[in-house]
Amino acid sequence: MGDSRAFCGTPVLSEDLRREDETLEPLLVDRGYILQKRQGYRFSLDAVVLADFVARLRGKARAGKSTRYLDLGTGCGVILVLLAKWGSGLTGYGVEIQQALADLAGRNLRLHGLEDRFQVLCTNLKDLPSRLPRASFDWITSNPPYRRLDTGRINPDPQKALARHELTASLEDICRVTAYLLREKGRAFLVYPASRFAGLVVHLREAGLEPKTARPVYPKPGERASWVLVEAVCNGKEELSIEHPLFVEDAQGEYTEEMNRIFRWES
């Protein structure tokens, strides 16, 4: 499901921002452009559907209200950019442990004129409680590494390895830090492998984050779910709503109507 059909296009040069090892590519439909590495980590569909999940759940009424927002493991900053363009009241930080990607995310913020609303912190997310005040954010998004250290082959590319395996922070760490930084009744939004959904619920609850909404994401009808989108509330009451599934492709292998809506960024 790392399909790049919606993201490809003829690069548009911006030499003051773009480095030699990067491309400048269209961001969805009529959403400007985004810088990405030619090799190494590149964002995929999971980041896009997570951003849409947040925008759709929280609604247009919230988009213009003042909201302190944090994106953990921001990569190139794609979720920051999409949500900032949707919600004019969002301000805050992206957090990225890899210096090259943190620099890239900062330049993507500049590319979209968002540098006055967001900063990128290059740090291990486990260190955030010593750098940011407790209960200082309304929303936190995270697209965590999907694999435990004891599972699967670790990619030889260091950017991909850190994005895919829990090399620097575990799911438990992410949930703990998220709970520390969220205000009372603040909301966390995550995308995670459907096969690890049970473990995600356990770690969220142990940290005091109550899952409120879950939506499975399927590659196409007849196949098993690949991801699950989850909204959790800090110290929320127990009640979980399982939403209707999101299918990326139809039986013919074409993007579904809903995916095309997401690519048009229509929430």
Domain annotation covers residue 216: yes
Chain centre to alpha carbon of residue 30: 20
| pLDDT (0 to 100) of residue 60 | 60
Kindly report the pTM of this predicted structure: 0.87
Q: The domain that contains 92 carries what CATH number?
A: 3.40.50.150
Domain annotation covers residue 199: yes
Domain annotation covers residue 82: yes
Domain span holding position 77:
44-263
| pLDDT (0 to 100) of residue 3 | 37
| Number of domains the chain is built from | 1
Domain annotation covers residue 197: yes
CA angle 195, 193, 104 (to 5 degrees): 160
| pLDDT (0 to 100) of residue 149 | 47
Exposure pattern of 103-131 as b/e (b: 16+ CB <10 Å)? ebbbbbbebbebeebbebbbeebeebeee
Domain annotation covers residue 115: yes
Domain annotation covers residue 230: yes
Domain annotation covers residue 30: no
| Average pLDDT per consecutive 10 residues, the chain (267 residues; last block may be shorter) | 38 64 86 86 92 89 79 95 91 94 95 94 95 96 72 46 53 95 97 94 97 98 97 97 97 96 86
Domain annotation covers residue 16: no
- Distant-in-sequence, close-in-space partners of 102: CB < 8 Å, separation ≥ 6: 74, 94, 96, 120, 121, 122
* DSSP bridge partners of 34: 25
